[in-house]
Chains A and B, each alone.
Chain A
Amino acid sequence: MHHIANASLTDKVMSSGDSNPAATPTPCVDIQGDGRWMSLHNHFVSNSKDKEPDVLFVGDSLVQLLHQFEVWRELFSPLHALNFGVGGDETQHVLWRLSNGELAHISPKVVVLWVGTHNHSHTAEQICGGIMAIVQLIKDKLPKAYTLVLGVLPRGKMPNPLRERNAQVNKLVKDAVSSLPHASLLNVDPGFVHSDGSISHQDLYDFLHLTPQGYQAVCQPLHAHLKGLLEKQAEN
């Protein structure tokens, strides 16, 4: 499946689970005391038993919060979409959730994956490896599904190392999926960074999470792209 020419890149980004913590399925440990992460996971597993989504959104708070605003009902409910976002999740947490039941009862045509910005102790290469591990897992469990990876957004009010890291993650993932017929990376940043390098709180209210206005700017093109993908899936 992978071209020989890309072998060294593939080796770099798809490190084995043991050597890349971002690509090792890991549940969240309940340190606060109310077990919310596991509750949410269980809720997603049981919730999926009687649903037949065409689209599954999975990832971190950027996915989770999307579900709370009007834009979800406008654009994604009509596509029969389910939302398995959990705030704070890193790649290894999403990997664990998808390996432990969240894909067991559903066969979506498209999986939208948006994760990576919270992987604070990992390098861009490791985060890419984590994302690619998720892409591979989805392929294994849902052979007919297409995975649409969304680029991680810039963050922070002004330029900072996390913006560079996120941009590097996007570049590495884009290269890694370029040879795959069942996955691609979509850049959903409509231009949040202004010419002076700043991000506005009107788009990212805490310079990380999207406002409803920010979501509209991200989701209009995403919705159009998704519809295109679903139509293509229907033809195949």
Chain B
Amino acid sequence: MLFRDFGGNSGLIKTPWLWWMSGDEINPAAVAQAVEDVQGDDRWMSQHTRFVQECKDAEPEVLFIGDSMVQLMQQYEIWRELFSPLHALNFGIGGDTTCNVLWRLQNGELDNIRPKVTVVWVGTNNHEHSAEQVAGGILAIAQLLTSRLPKTKVVVLGLLARGDGPNPLREKNAAVNGFLRSWLPRLGQAQFLDVGAGFVHSDGTISTRDMFDFLHLTAAGYRAIAKPLSDLLLQILDETPEEKRASLV
């Protein structure tokens, strides 16, 4: 469908593990889809529209895109400390699935910006999809980014564990991460970063000190993940040559 035309990366035009699961069925987690306004205040579209407008005014070096894990980070002090200085934009929307992020990226949220790094964090809300489908959806996002922004590096964050004790969603998120670890290296400009270490204690529990509702991070939880992430971003930004070079006369 739309994606086949995005050709950008040679050798990846036919990508069975993204689009076509066994039996030649399209991966539903890789189909772009806007969120319908069922509540009545149109907030999803308002947020998307605001992001599109931000693309017109801003020149970000780093773009964060994803769900509430991304969105909430901007409300804590850690964002101002570690990510604002990197000229980062935050396009997170609570509740988003891979489908919703794909739609947003295809409908204006990449226009007029050329971030050097894009951080992708999404997948934990894809309740209707299998782990393999979710990973395929995330790969689709990474591939869209590298084809629209050929010079960008993509960092995909692993899905965190969730829930008070062991449960099927933890297993699913771990499986998604497993697929991402194997598949992402095939996209030369994308890499996987696991920031989940340490949240699950030896007794299998997660503390509300780290995730206040066993899903969303507290300030302390964000502090723990922000350090390895910001270290990686700084490393990538250091390695990336400036586009403009002073001409030597």
A binds B: yes
Give the distance in Å from the alpha carbon of A70 to the alpha carbon of B80 in the complex: 14
Chain B: interface secondary structure?
loop
Indicate with 1 or 0, residue by residue over B145-173, a CB within 8 angstroms of chain A CB atoms.
Answer: 00000000000000000111101111000
Partner of A157, one of B46, B74, B168: B46
Indicate with 1 or 0, residue by residue over B9-52, a CB within 8 angstroms of chain A CB atoms.
Answer: 00000000000000000000000000000111111001100100
Number of interface residues of A (CB under 8 A): 32
- Chain A residue with the shortest CB-CB distance to B214: A36
Q: Which of chain A's residues 151-187 have a Cβ closer than 8 Å to chain B?
A: 155-158, 160-163
Chain A: interface secondary structure?
loop
Is A32's beta carbon under 8 Å from chain B?
yes
Partner of B46, one of A163, A207, A211: A207
Is B75's beta carbon under 8 Å from chain A?
yes
Is A43 within 8 A of B43, CB to CB?
no
Closest CB of chain A to B20's CB: distance in Å?
27
Is A120's beta carbon under 8 Å from chain B?
yes
- Chain B residue with the shortest CB-CB distance to A156: B41
Is B218's beta carbon under 8 Å from chain A?
yes
Q: Which 3 A-B pairs have the closest CB atoms?
A: A156-B41, A34-B163, A39-B164
Can you list 30 A-B contacts (CB < 8 A)?
A33-B167, A34-B164, A34-B170, A36-B163, A40-B213, A43-B164, A43-B208, A64-B213, A67-B212, A68-B212, A68-B219, A69-B75, A86-B213, A87-B213, A87-B216, A120-B38, A156-B46, A157-B43, A157-B46, A158-B42, A160-B42, A161-B40, A162-B40, A162-B41, A201-B50, A205-B74, A205-B75, A206-B71, A206-B93, A207-B41
Chain A residues engaging chain B, CB cutoff 8 angstroms: 31-36, 39-40, 43, 64, 67-70, 86-87, 120, 155-158, 160-163, 201, 205-208, 211-212
